[in-house]
Amino acid sequence: MANNKKYWSGLDELDGTEAFKEIQAKEFQEQIPVDQFLADERHSSTTTGRRDFLKFMGFSLTAATLAACETPVIKSIPYTNKPAEITPGVANYYASTYYDGMDYSNVLVKTREGRPIFIKGNSATGIGAGKVNSRVIGSVMSLYDKARLDGPTQNGNSTTWEDLDKAMSAAVSGAGRTVVLSNTIVSPSTVKAIKALGAEHVQYDAISYSALRVAQSEAFGVNAVPSYDFSKAEVIVSIAADFLNSWLSSTLYAPDYALLRGPERGKQSKHFQFESAMSMTGTNADVRTMIKPSEEGKVAAGLLAALKGATVSNLDAGVVKSINAAAKSLNSSKGKSLVVAGSNDLATQTIVAAINQQLGNYGSTIDLERPSMAYRGDDASVSDLVKDMNSGKISTLITYGCNPSYDLPNAAAFNTGLAKVKTSVCMNGVADETAKRSTFVAPDHHYLESWNDLSLSSGRIDLVQPTIEPIFNTRAAQESFLNWSSSENSDWYTFLRRQYNASYTSDAMYSDSGWNSAIHDGTMVGNDLPESPEYTSSIDTTQAERKVASVKGGAFELVTYVKATAGSGNHAANPILQETPDPVSKVTWDNYVTMSKSDMDAMGLNTYIAQEDLGSVVKVTVNGKSVELPAFMQPGQKPGTIGIALGYGRGAGGEKIGQAAFQTGEKGEHITQASGLPMPIGANAYPLTSTSDGNTIYAHYDVSIEATGREYPLACTQIHNTYMGRESVVKETSFDSYLSEAGKAKGEASWNKAHRLNVHEDTNHDGVIDARDKKNTNAFDLWHSHPVEEVGHRWGMTIDLTTCTGCSACVTACNIENNVSVVGKDEVLRHRDMHWIRIDRYYASDFSLEKGEEEGVGVIDSYGRMEDPSENPQTVHMPMMCQHCNHAPCETVCPVAATTHSNEGLNQMTYNRCIGTRYCANNCPYKVRRFNWFNYKGYKKFEHVNPAHDSLARLVLNPDVTVRARGVMEKCSMCVQRIQSGKLYAKKAGTPILDGQVKTACAESCPSNAIKFGDLNDNGSEVKTISENNRAYHALEEIGVKPNVFYMTKVRNS
Amino acid sequence: MNNRINRLQHVARAICTILVFQVFGLAAQGIWEGGDPANGQSLFNANCAACHKITDEILVGPGLAGIQDRWPSGDEMLVMWIQSPQEAAETGDKYIKSIVERYVGTYGWMTGQAVSEADISDILAYVTSPPIDGGGDTASSDNCPTIDYNTPEESDSSNAMWFLILLILFTVIALSAAGVKRSLTDVIAEKSGEDLLPDTGYLTRLGGWAWNNLVMVSLIGIFFVLYGVVVGYSALMDIGTYSNYSPEQPIAFNHSIHVCENEIDCKYCHNSAYDSKHAGIPSANVCMNCHKAIKKGKRTGTEEIEKIYAAIGFDATTGTYLDGDGNNGKALPQDSYNGEPIKWNKVHNLPDHVFFSHQQHVNVGGLQCQNCHGDVSTYSVGRIAPVEEINTLIDAYPGIIQLSKPTLTMGWCIECHNKAEIDLASSGYYEEMHDRLMNSERGNEELRRYLEDEKITVRELGGWECSKCHY
């Protein structure tokens, strides 16, 4: 098998296209634009003569030389009054909680000298061991956004808090209706502070789940979104619910889901996914079935019918087959399963509730006794509010924690209504869409500057505590509510403390030990007020079934979805999140229309996207509203459907929401719209959503789509789609096949055979030397080995491809921990992204060599066809970073020994030695080395995208990691700064390093614990055990570079 | 003059006391008499000096000078007041009430002191008649030489400048002299009707001369080239070495006074050396631990210490701190006070790409500060001690590792890593490392290699690897 494999750089090489041959013959792939340069008028009209130029040069050189002789005097400024808890150079961690209306996470905030620099999960006391996702990790960047407002404003001009308070107190107590419009508030004290205003309170969620809530209310009498327990769900059926990425409180579900995925316990959960667009959850499904959004309800109804033993009609045969399989699995694990639906259609959710009730999941995997406090938004009330605003019935509107001018389905109507409201005040921290249209802006603190209490479910209160003094002249929103209220006169902190100790006074600020330990843990036990659901009530689904059966689909149907990085739109100006590739499409910095290959071919759109191959822009029209976006070929997209991500097109009216929120051109300048305003990234898809039965519907069943003929570059970090049968990169097997060989030793099982090479030696003792004489790769050594194994430490990593969901939290965490430069779209387009860790996403192909043989297709052509992913492919996510090879090919080619091996197994990169030959990058088989083409922290091209450009955002840089200069190579260091500090901690304590004491940023942030880090020389360590598991293998084992990173064969329960 | 009068008064008072003893006999002996001032001094320093001075200066509590004249409430009350202040206040004594009103609000209650009546008598003897020489200042300044490295030295560069100017002057003179000579020759030639000399430039003539003296010119040439190489090499080797660098500081802080005379441990002020990568420059509130009491320096008077007060907001006259609105009366430094921080000039500058940890070297490695910083007690401002100077400290500080490369260069670091030994039995961490070496074949082999020189050095455990310091 091994010797008939062939590798090439891409399809072009394989096909031997003319274009490729032409490129191959050239030294530089692109034309060097000499003519263009010389043709520039400015150069010929210059007045500087050649001799003058040389003089200037000489003078500058001398001046620079002389200036360099002087040693600059560096100031060192100690605290005048140093706080006792701060030791310069030592990090402090504070427990806090992240909640933005969507994601909820118990976090630990790492601060250095009083500034937060890293967010990680609070594994000690957090819900579900406190896991985080990309958005939560990246949230630290928004603290240092210089677009944040410095003080309150009135009609866009700055004002004082006193004037604002005077005006607002008058407005609130004056005649007319005062309404507070907010996202779902899960803070008990904030709710009380809003109550103190005496105003109406309307809540809505940017991504609404109101139908789910209403369905529970109708069926069981509890008007809330349930709490789901994925850790008990052996069978999961998801109908377009992206529960690993964005559906409800996905930060809590992903870790639980991963618990049942590892096959070592002899069982593996089975996950069915029915969806239109390829979601991150869909890429992890065991059985993924493509359906149209108009069929979601029918699938639910079909599943209910199948569970009862009826036959399912009115759907494609393939879908029916999956439904029957799902029903069989569900029936066999009643009470240990979960059926979830992403749709916000009441009929669908009612049927899903009935399914779960029939399966006995309520009370087991679904909890309505202690339901989720999140997503209590009421779409119907918001619609009423907008109507009232337009009819002039509202005199004062306070918007808090939401951006309705941007994310309401009827935002246009809201905006006209807002203009009719006499006094409007917005509490958002930046001058965003809503703030711009409000009379006053009363900027709220960033969550890292605030006090708050949050309760996601009954019986538990999580605390938010400030980790830095407010950077700008902002004020806690609750402080404003209390100030404007006529009935309350305490400040917010006192108000908050009095909720838990009625007799609290500022004298007792530090003496309440209960509070102190709650602040330390970030959580405390709250009032437990369980609901009493009637799980046994019968659910009448006939009407709902009739309704879903009547849904008619169109030629093209649209689904809108939420991306792992952009969220609902509040992370638009976050450069680190914008540059984190989407887990599925691998596109950065952009929004696009996902389409199936067949539809794109039919419309004549470009399906191949690369640096020079631009995407075709299409115009999508829904109910007379249209957006223009590039089309992106997405394997797994149901033909006849398109997908568009929400959360883009922020700042379309030139709102100053942060400079990373706008498109940048080739020179790093902001691209402008025709109106002269900066061009937003992508287009806003919220106007494409609609309202039905009082619920916001995120799909549309009849849209028209047309090609515009324009082209637009999309910056993807990965274009190649499959691994083309290269089984030494990705190893995967089915659960059944795994079980049949589960007992075999490492290297023996058919799904993870050790790589063997032919030798000229009679190894099988049959008397002849022939092709059957082989030895394992690790028997060969070109070099003397480093004294790594069994001596000192040997830092290693194991990555389980089975549990890795591709969520990219590790990528974001690594970027922030290691000061990885953000380079912007244009540079990503040139494949100059600097990420130390990437997640290679491979689609499976329908084709194989065996199939080619059967069909009589030649070997070369077979490989060509294996390059194409299936229409509905299986997917593998493979985190790839420096493998820290013990026989590293990069080390041997460095002319200046800038990259060397440590006796702890690390492949060290020494920036100050590197002269930038890039030989190492060329010689790296894993292509994980990154070159600093520019001075990203200073060069003008990056001023809008790289946070290190302004002195404020620079505060987020990790002081323990060098900021790399131009012209040097960099790559994953396995967070050597953490290893060193972990060793130092152990040396000071006088104990060996305990397993788990040192964690890399990626391992620490991995929600599914797929990435593990530790000492392979420590026999008791987890990584040591895993590396000896029979699923463990090295990527590209046959080249014999002996990495310290182990992958675990992916096992799919299909 | 005043001092002398004071002393005379003390002497007179002492004589009076003695006379009083004589007259009334021992029966009436109270706490004011008969104490042992020497014992009193040590008791005072141990129990009282943190808050009281023996002058009339207010530290935290009132200065005790003149207490014998102003204490109105009898011996018993004074003893009670010292031993148990709150109890004494409860008696309702008027004078004590006035003290409570004046001081307790700001500084809190005085701590009751575990001293007997006899002790109090000794202390009062010391307070009322302190030793004539003033005490305290006896620590011999002679043993603590202060080398002020900060005085601007007459630098070589100015000499070089003069040489250059002279050289140019001489060249100009020589050239003009040559010109004059040539003009004169021309005049003579013209007069005598000979042909004028061909109008050749200086360079041509110099070339002609050189052609005629090839050996000489070659020798001079070789000399200059060699000289250039030697000077150039040493100049290049000096790049990035900052031995003796001692920039002027915003406060004329004198290490010698603090370290040598007052015997303050390095890590009292640079305390984070034990738990952080930074040794740290002490924050002003650390200075205030002592300088709240010591308001006047021996050499610079109040001028330099005032700078600390300005930074942290301390009102020396009342002995209290200021708040943001400029009100004094606070016992502790106020965060609201917006003082200008002290901007020290950093002396030991490492490039940004070097990670150096003090705690690794001081706490784990047990290195002495002097090994890298020299004998700070002998000089005034912070400075980079040259390696030769550090090497001479071996007698005073045994265990210092002798090095040869310039201080604070990478050569110096790795030279030390190659020499410094690690005691594998020193902690559980190293024991584990030792076990791993002992328990495997490969480990044994490595250990044998390590022990070829009969010691295990930092280098052998990876101290020469790039990513130990560069990441």
Higher pLDDT residue, A484 or A38? Answer: A484
pLDDT (average), residues A242-270: 91
User: What is the percent of chain A where pLDDT is above 90?
Assistant: 62
- CB neighbour list of residue A400: distance below 8 Å, 6 or more residues apart: A180, A181, A182, A183, A194, A427, A444, A477
Is residue A139 assigned to a domain?
A: no
Residue of A469, A791, A983, A993 best to disrupt the B interface, most CBs of B under 10 A:
A791
pLDDT (average), residues A881-904: 93
A496-499 contacts: CB < 8 A, separation 24 or more? Answer: A496/A189, A496/A451, A496/A452, A496/A453, A499/A188, A499/A189, A499/A192, A499/A453
Number of domains making up chain A? 4
Q: Which of B247, B285, B446 sits opposite A81 (nearest CB)?
A: B285
Q: Is A250 found in the same domain as A193?
A: no
Q: Is A741 found in the same domain as A707?
A: no
Burial A934-972 (b: 16+ CB within 10 A, else e): bebbeeebbbbbbbbbeeebebbbbbbbbbbbeebbbbb
pLDDT score recorded for residue A27: 58
pLDDT score recorded for residue B195: 67
Q: Which of A89, A790, A980 sits opposite B436 (nearest CB)?
A: A790
Q: Which of A962, A987, A1017 sits opposite B364 (nearest CB)?
A: A987
Q: What is the CATH number of the domain that holds A445?
A: 3.40.50.740
Asked if A903 lies within 8 A of B282 by C-beta distance, the reply is no
pLDDT score recorded for residue A68: 64
Q: Can you read off the two tokens belonging to residue A522?
A: 């970030």
Summarize pLDDT for A616-629 with one digit per residue, the tens. 999 999 988 999 99
pLDDT score recorded for residue A20: 61
Asked whether the predicted pLDDT for residue A161 surpasses 90, the reply is yes
What is the least distance, in Å, from the CA of B175 to any CA of chain A?
Answer: 28
pLDDT score recorded for residue B360: 92
Q: Is A425 found in the same domain as A277?
A: no
Tell me the pLDDT of chain A averaged across its residues. Answer: 89
Asked whether the predicted pLDDT for residue A786 surpasses 70, the reply is yes
User: Binning pLDDT at 50, 70 and 90, where does residue A527 land?
Assistant: confident
Q: Is A1047 found in the same domain as A921?
A: yes
pLDDT (average), residues A23-41: 63
Which of A510, A525, A540 is the last residue before a domain boundary? Answer: A525
Is residue A846 assigned to a domain?
A: no
Asked if A82 lies within 8 A of B283 by C-beta distance, the reply is yes
Asked if A78 lies within 8 A of B345 by C-beta distance, the reply is no
- CB neighbour list of residue B190: distance below 8 Å, 6 or more residues apart: B196
Q: Which amino acid, one-letter code, is at A192?
A: K
Q: What is the CATH number of the domain that holds A671?
A: 2.40.40.20
- CB neighbour list of residue A939: distance below 8 Å, 6 or more residues apart: A668, A966
Asked whether the predicted pLDDT for residue A66 surpasses 70, the reply is no
Q: Which amino acid, one-letter code, is at A164?
A: L
Is residue A607 assigned to a domain?
A: yes
ipTM above 0.85, yes or no: no
- CA A305 to chain centroid, in Å, comes to 36
- CB neighbour list of residue B341: distance below 8 Å, 6 or more residues apart: A77, A78, A79, A80, B284, B311
The CA-based diameter of chain B, rounded to the nearest angstrom, is 130
Q: Can you read off the two tokens belonging to residue A883?
A: 């493998």
**Number of other residues whose CB lies within 10 A of the CB of residue A299:** 29
Asked whether the predicted pLDDT for residue A792 surpasses 50, the reply is yes
Sign of CA dihedral A370, A374, A380, A382: positive
- DSSP labels, B48-74: TTTT--SSS--SSS---TTHHHH--SH
Is residue A387 assigned to a domain?
A: yes
Of the listed ranges A823-837, A903-917, B241-255, B412-426, the least confidently predicted one is: B241-255
Helix, strand, coil percentages in chain A from 3-state DSSP, rounded to 5: 30, 20, 50
SS3 A99: strand
CB-based contact A843:A1030 (threshold 8 Å):
no
Q: Is A614 found in the same domain as A571?
A: yes
pLDDT score recorded for residue A14: 58
Q: Is A562 found in the same domain as A413?
A: no
Q: What is the CATH number of the domain that holds A970?
A: 3.30.70.20
Q: CA-CA distance, A993 to A1015, in Å (whole number)? A: 9
Which of A372, A396, A411 is the last residue before a domain boundary? Answer: A372
Residue of A75, A81, A968 best to disrupt the B interface, most CBs of B under 10 A:
A81
Asked if B357 lies within 8 A of A984 by C-beta distance, the reply is yes
Task: Bin A52: left if φ > 0, else alpha if -120 < ψ < 50, else beta.
Answer: alpha
Summarize pLDDT for B209-224 with one digit per residue, the tens. 888 888 988 999 999 9
Asked whether the predicted pLDDT for residue A863 surpasses 90, the reply is no
Asked whether the predicted pLDDT for residue A474 surpasses 60, the reply is yes
pLDDT score recorded for residue B24: 43
Distance, first Cα to last Cα, chain A: 25
Q: CA-CA distance, A661 to A944, in Å (whole number)? A: 9
Asked whether the predicted pLDDT for residue A739 surpasses 80, the reply is yes
Q: Does an H or E element contain A120, and which? A: strand A115-121
CB-based contact A108:B313 (threshold 8 Å):
no
Is residue A469 assigned to a domain?
A: yes
Q: Is A252 found in the same domain as A180?
A: no
Q: Is A298 found in the same domain as A176?
A: no
Q: Can you read off the two tokens belonging to residue A814?
A: 């690594």
Q: Is A431 found in the same domain as A348?
A: no
User: Binning pLDDT at 50, 70 and 90, where does residue A783 land?
Assistant: confident
Is residue A663 assigned to a domain?
A: yes
Which of A318, A344, A372 is the last residue before a domain boundary? Answer: A372
Summarize pLDDT for A311-360 with one digit per residue, the tens. 888 888 999 999 999 999 999 998 999 999 999 999 999 999 999 999 99
Of the listed ranges A481-495, A746-760, B60-74, B342-356, the least confidently predicted one is: B60-74
Q: Which amino acid, one-letter code, is at B447?
A: L
CB-based contact A679:A673 (threshold 8 Å):
yes
Q: Can you read off the two tokens belonging to residue A102?
A: 């969507």
The CA-based diameter of chain A, rounded to the nearest angstrom, is 104
Alpha-helical (H) ranges within A279-332 are 280-283, 296-307, 317-332
Q: What is the CATH number of the domain that holds A230?
A: 3.40.228.10
Give pLDDT < 50 ranges for chain B: 1-3, 16, 18-28, 134-140, 152-154
What are the backbone dihedrals phi and psi of residue A453, each rounded to the nearest 5 degrees, phi first?
A: -125, 140
pLDDT score recorded for residue A24: 63
Q: CA-CA distance, A351 to A543, in Å (whole number)? A: 10
- CA A34 to chain centroid, in Å, comes to 42
A465-469 contacts: CB < 8 A, separation 24 or more? Answer: A465/A94, A465/A95, A465/A96, A465/A519, A465/A522, A467/A94, A467/A96, A467/A109, A467/A111, A467/A116, A468/A111, A468/A114, A468/A115, A468/A116, A468/A143, A469/A114
Asked if B280 lies within 8 A of A88 by C-beta distance, the reply is yes
CB-based contact B355:B238 (threshold 8 Å):
no
pLDDT score recorded for residue A6: 47
pLDDT score recorded for residue B139: 45
Is residue A689 assigned to a domain?
A: yes
Higher pLDDT residue, A153 or B5? Answer: A153
CB-based contact A982:A793 (threshold 8 Å):
no
pLDDT score recorded for residue A693: 81
Residue A96 burial by Cβ neighbours in a 10 Å radius (0-12, 13-18, 19+): buried
Higher pLDDT residue, A954 or B207? Answer: A954
SS3 B390: helix
Which residues lie across from A1014 on neighbouring strands? A796
Higher pLDDT residue, A186 or A723? Answer: A186
Summarize pLDDT for A557-603 with one digit per residue, the tens. 999 999 999 889 999 999 999 999 999 999 999 999 999 999 999 99
Q: Which of B360, B442, B466 sits opposite A787 (nearest CB)?
A: B442
- DSSP labels, A75-98: EE---SS--TT--TT-EEEEEEEE
Q: Which of A73, A961, A988 sits opposite B359 (nearest CB)?
A: A988
CB-based contact A1049:A939 (threshold 8 Å):
no
The whole domain housing A515 covers 153-207+377-525
Asked if A990 lies within 8 A of B437 by C-beta distance, the reply is no
pLDDT score recorded for residue A799: 95
Q: Which amino acid, one-letter code, is at A697?
A: I
A911 at B interface, C-beta within 8 A = yes
- CB neighbour list of residue B193: distance below 8 Å, 6 or more residues apart: none
Of the listed ranges A44-48, A850-854, A915-919, the least confidently predicted one is: A44-48
Nearest residue in chain B measured CA to CA from A986: B429
Q: Is A171 found in the same domain as A251?
A: no
Is residue A82 assigned to a domain?
A: no
Helix, strand, coil percentages in chain B from 3-state DSSP, rounded to 5: 55, 5, 45
Q: Is A1025 found in the same domain as A942?
A: yes
- DSSP labels, A852-908: HHHHT--HHHHHHHHTSPPSS--EEEEEE-----TT-HHHHH-TT--EEE-TTS-EE
pLDDT score recorded for residue B328: 80
Q: Which amino acid, one-letter code, is at B407?
A: T
For the question of whether the overall pTM of this predicted structure is more than 0.90, the answer is no
> Measured between beta carbons, which residues in chain B are less than 8 angstroms from residue A980?
355, 468, 471
Q: Is A712 found in the same domain as A646?
A: yes
Asked if A792 lies within 8 A of B433 by C-beta distance, the reply is yes
